[in-house]
Amino acid sequence: MKRYTKVEMKAKWKELLLNPDLLYRNGATLFNYIGVLKDGPEMPYIEYISQLILEDFYILEAIGINLNDLRLTKSFNVGHDGTSNATARIQKYGKIRFDEKPFARALYNSGHNFLFGKLFDYEVPLKERISSKYGEIDLLSRNDNEIYVIELKIGYTDSGKISETLLRAIMEAFTFTKLLSIRKDKFINNMKLPKIIRLRPAILTLTNAVSAEHMKMLKEEKLNNLKTLICKINKYFSKLDISPFKLFAIDADNPELIQNDKKLIVFKDPNFVRSKVIEYDY
């Protein structure tokens, strides 16, 4: 696998600065680089990219400038009920293949009160126009008077291992939380929430994921640039009345998912929801 130099990585980063709102999306490949720089010394890619983001932090502050694409007339509450027509997939694969979307629905359908709160919606849309490239919020939970805007990451699907870094998750959760904060009043009204609600970005993963390994490294002070970036984001978010990042990992392997007679995707082993949830400090 080719290894890149600082100059090459910086050039890739500079190409992303023209569209702040889609930075998280257009920079997905860059944020997900695993390994170390060619001219390090032994510096992980995510550490150098975090340094570049810190140097150009204004680009994060500029996210949300394209309000034409951000939800305004349409409701954030699109009536999700947890059901899913997985019949075709079950017929094709003989089971519900493990992936982020069905996993998110199973977590939602569990009705469990997790360490990160009780989930009340999933795949929450942010875009106003169909043509917009804004993504969806994976999960929303309520924990007292805070709404956790959760970016969900997993370590591998049934089709193979995936490598999504904590940096990629941070960039997604940052973007979605900031965009939601711009429409916070509308969101609160649509979801029938009290006005005292405060937003908080969060990452949720499984301990078999690369992102969970990075959480451990943060705690061990092995990713200091990424830590500095998260802390700077938290300081910036405090000005917007947004709470600091929370990092969680469910201490379990991929659970088996099934569809019940109500067409809800659920955990075959209902005890999965009682798996230990680790909160990582940084």
Tell me if 63 sits within 8 A of 175, measured CB to CB. Answer: yes
pLDDT digits (tens, 9 = 90+) for 161-190: 778 999 999 999 999 999 999 999 999 999
Q: Considering only 156-165, 182-191, 260-269, which range has the smallest mean pLDDT?
A: 156-165
For residues 11 and 212, give the distance between their C-alpha atoms in angstroms, rounded to a whole number.
Answer: 28
**Buried b / exposed e along 187-224 (16+ C-beta atoms within 10 A):** bbebbeeeeeeebbbbbbbbbbbbbbbbbebbeeeebe
- Which pLDDT band, with edges at 50, 70 and 90, does 154 fall under? very high
Query: For residues 32 and 160, which has the higher predicted lDDT (pLDDT)?
Result: 32
3-class DSSP state of 42: coil
pTM score of the predicted model: 0.95
What's the CA dihedral at 258, 260, 265, 271 to 10 degrees? -70
- Indicate if the pLDDT at residue 97 is higher than 80: yes
pLDDT for position 208: 93
**Hey, what long-range contacts does 89-92 have (CB within 8 A, 24 or more apart)?**
90/259
pLDDT digits (tens, 9 = 90+) for 209-221: 999 999 999 999 9
Average pLDDT over residues 192-217: 96
| Domain definitions of the chain by residue range | 70-279
Token duo for residue 17: 């600065």
Output helix, strand, coil percentages for the chain, rounded to the nearest 5. 40, 20, 40
Cross-strand pairs, 275: none
pLDDT for position 151: 98
Average pLDDT over residues 227-253: 98
- Which pLDDT band, with edges at 50, 70 and 90, does 159 fall under? confident
- Which pLDDT band, with edges at 50, 70 and 90, does 275 fall under? very high
Cross-strand pairs, 147: 142, 199
Tell me if 147 sits within 8 A of 197, measured CB to CB. Answer: yes
